[in-house]
Amino acid sequence: MDSLVTNWGFRGSWVLKMIVVGRSAVGKTSLMHEVVVGRLPAITTLNYEFAVFNYEIPREDLVKQDSKYASLELPEKVKLKYQIWDTAGQERFRNLVRSYYRGTSVAFIVYAINDRDSFEDVEYWVNALEKYTFWHKIVLIGNKIDLEDLRVVSYDEGKELADEYGFDFFETSVLEGIGTAELMPNISHPILKSLLDNYI
């Protein structure tokens, strides 16, 4: 929690660093671009892909869901601004620098459901995150569910691993746009509530 509170900006708005990790060719960059479609385009910087995603929740909706937030002086829309970093292929060398992980509030670990090795790599990425950063939320994502006929990692396997670590779990298909639209709202709402709870 404290790692997120340090990202407090002006009242009612936070800037959060999100990173996307996983084996090469599992669809990380495509997933990131799908998440930010219609928003600021991704640019390449320092050998990484960088993009911005803004998530807004009306104050009225927050208060309707839980009246305890009525005591907070918030703007009409409460905002989370994600700075999303992708490895842009650097993960092939397993030499991601500490600065890539530093300051991370949210991490996506992505594997492909048709690539058993990418699933078995999840432990590696968890250990790297544990070594270099104090995270708030990690999300495990099984991508490429459009390749169901080639699936080698079952939904239950992915969910069981996520539950073991205490992560959120989603399956997606960037190619067919399955599960991608719900991704950010589903993770952002709990994050925002946990942030606001610090000020009640």
Domain boundaries, the chain: 2-199
- Residue pair 59/75 in contact (Cβ under 8 Å)? The answer is yes
Comparing 168 with 72, which gets the higher pLDDT?
168
Whole-number average pLDDT of the chain: 82
Nearest to 109 by CA among 90, 92, 131, 87: 87
Q: Where are the alpha helices (DSSP H) in the chain?
A: 2-5, 28-35, 59-65, 98-101, 116-120, 122-132, 155-165, 183-196
Model confidence, pTM:
0.83
pLDDT digits over 120-169, tens only? Answer: 999 999 998 888 877 678 999 999 999 999 999 999 999 999 999 999 99
Look at residue 200 in the predicted model and tell me its pLDDT: 72
Q: How high is the pLDDT of residue 97?
A: 67
| 2-199: CATH, from 3.90.1150.10, 3.40.50.300, 3.20.20.110, 3.40.50.720 | 3.40.50.300
Highest mean pLDDT out of 46-60, 149-163, 166-180: 149-163
